[in-house]
Chain A
Amino acid sequence: MSTLLEVTNLKKHFPLKDSKLFSREKPVLKAVDGISFSIQSGETLGLVGESGCGKSTAGRSILKLINPTEGDIYFKGENISHYRGEKLRKLRKDMQLIFQDPYASLNPRKTIAQTITEPMKIFQLSKEEQYKKLERLLDVVGLRSYHKDRYPHEFSGGQRQRIGIARSLALDPELVICDEPVSALDVSIQAQVINLMEDLQEEFNLTYIFIAHDLSVVHHISDRVAVMYLGEIVEIAEANELYQDPKHPYTQALLSAVPEANPHLEKQRIILKGDLPSPANPPSGCKFHTRCPFAEEICRQEKPELKQVSSNGQMAACHFVREVVS
């Protein structure tokens, strides 16, 4: 397997409007604050965290839908962080996005055929090719050929999400960033779409970045999982390892908070106090110290680095997890 995408020290800071008059310092919101990871071709990386932790911003910065403030993005070995214009447009063919809301992400005035073939038109495929591809795509996402002349309002949420997926696959991308692709769907439909995404990954050798807040769904679909808190990755590991032996107190709390469909389970629940602090004014030192049950003085002052904490590559950023050198 080869590395498809590598992100190093990616930052996205948004300037805040309400800076004080004449003040030199411009306040910024550090939505993503220095994250690094890499993804192998054909792999699924899950990105989890609470709302406001910067997971969607990270996804958008990688696609360069918004320009990152700092950091490098290597796609197939090439640094794409400074791509602009035509070069960027060509690159977009290889990276696609599946959106959360199947109701808002389809143009209500376009038929399904128009929606799915639009990217092909932009990249100037011939009419014939477009037609052939459209039929194929409808088939792989489980829609019928006669659906193509219908409009989005004629479909249910699950079907619309299938249309969105078909559109994102129209140009044979390698990397697909899925931003909460199933969270707007009913439970019974969710499973259909997750299964479809897994089948498509196998068929087209897709690489997924799967952004979601539902930890069970992420566990199911991901090979590796990164946990984000206030713009930083606090833990990253193989999915099974992370879920069985979480090292970072935040990951532990997050996992223990998930209600399980088993009434006999007596769970030791870690209930975090308080809310996520505002990313515009993050706590000093370890950003988690305000809610961490184990926080001590050092956590308030020093920021912990992401370090290896188990022999098979689990990484966590906490002062109290012992570093393991492999």
Chain B
Amino acid sequence: MHTESPILQVENLHTHFITKAGIVKAVDGVDFDIKPGETLGIVGESGSGKSMTAMSIMGLIPSPPGKIVEGEIRFKGENLLTKTKKQMRNIRGKEISMVFQDPMTSLNPVFTIEKQLIETILAHESFSKNQARSRALELLHLVGIPDPKKRLKNYPHEFSGGMRQRVMIAIALACNPSVLIADEPTTALDVTIQAQILELFKKMQNELNMAIIMITHDLGVVAEVCDRVMVMYAGKPVEYTETNHLFDQGKHPYTLGLMNSIPTINKQKKKLEAIDGVPPDLRSLPKGCSFAPRCKHVMEACLHIDPTLTEVNDHHFVRCLLYEETNSEKVVSP
């Protein structure tokens, strides 16, 4: 389906935060790539490092205390980590853009939507003001805001949550980016509006052949829109495969735990299988596998050996000792 070469490659990314209480390894060895027109889902709970992965790509890690200590982020073959601030500014918002979770706080309340759209357009394109204005109108039309001409002159508080998220998407799409990172874009929205927005993403992707990185905690959203998924836990990817594979033959105990712990809309009254315990404190991760203290299949070895991401099937990677044993030559000794 996607035969082109990847547009964005992340290799062995480590983003750490140096705090008084110790080093927080927010992102601790993340690898993935994404091709044009493809949607990659990053799933995880709060603190799993999914948003920090996105911020690292955008070059928006606050430094200090944050620092990308290792790894490469290659966009169209060039390493973004060696770019200067000015070069990054040209890429950010133009080539790679981002939609944030909270449409209520990510727009500036004292400027009209038109002003905020035009600001983005003029920052990256050599348009005249008039050209920028008509582009802004076109964008609002594109994301399905009724009566766009009148709405351009409105302030953010005059829009509902769903409409604001559309405006955010319009701003993100202003310069036809090749990669769009959407960080929990529908979490703050009602389901009927979520359905509208997800539909909009699909339509935009078809039209512009964008690569989308969809960060979410909702496996339903993943099943709906993603081609491939990476499940993250405590800063590390624990499973990485095609969406269908994940749902049909997901392997990592954490992935399976997540799937069993969500109530489905069709079946009722089976006790939910909760995952015991809480996610670990990133400042003092347990030795061995970070998921071991909550894992149902925990073995003696899990407490000492941190498993590596192993390919168990074609393009299906799992980080778990249960699956490393099958090809024992790959087991790493502590």
Contacts and interface: CB of A to CB of B under 8 A. Distances in A.
A188 interface: yes
B221 interface: yes
B45 A188 contact: yes
A257 B220 contact: no
B262 A158 contact: no
Contacts of A186: 45-46, 217, 279
Contact of B264 (A192, A260, A275): A260
Given A195-B274, A262-B247, A188 B192 contact: no
Contacts of A280: none
Contacts of A254: 191-192
A22 to B, nearest CB: 27
Contacts of B278: 156, 158-159, 189
A224 to B, nearest CB: 12
B61 interface: no
21 contacts: A158-B278, A186-B279, A187-B262, A188-B45, A191-B263, A191-B272, A191-B273, A191-B275, A192-B275, A195-B271, A198-B271, A215-B265, A216-B265, A240-B268, A243-B268, A257-B195, A261-B264, A262-B247, A263-B244, A264-B244, A275-B193
A66 to B, nearest CB: 23
Interface stretch (B78-86, B253-261, B319-327): B253-261
A258 B265 contact: yes
A190 B264 CA distance: 13
Contact of B275 (A188, A243, A258): A188
B19 interface: no
A272 B193 CA distance: 8
A261 B191 CA distance: 15
Contacts, number: 130
Q: Which residue among B218, B257, B265, B272 has the maximum number of chain A CB atoms within 10 Å of its CB?
A: B265
B223 interface: yes
Contacts of B163: 275
Contact of A187 (B45, B190, B244, B247): B45
B261 A190 contact: yes
Contacts of B146: 274
Given A191-B273, A215-B191, A259-B224, A220 B261 contact: no
A240 B271 CA distance: 16
A221 B271 CA distance: 10
Interface residues of B, number: 46
Contacts of A292: none
Interface residues of A, number: 44
Contact of A263 (B196, B223, B262, B266): B223
Interface in B250-309: 257-259, 261-266, 268-269, 271-276, 278-279
Nearest to A240: B268
A188 B293 CA distance: 14
A255 to B, nearest CB: 7
B160 interface: yes
Nearest to A158: B278
Contact of A257 (B162, B191, B223, B275): B191
B258 A187 contact: yes
A253 B192 contact: yes
A258 B261 contact: no
A187 B68 CA distance: 28
Nearest to A51: B190
A80 interface: no
Contact of B261 (A191, A198, A275): A191
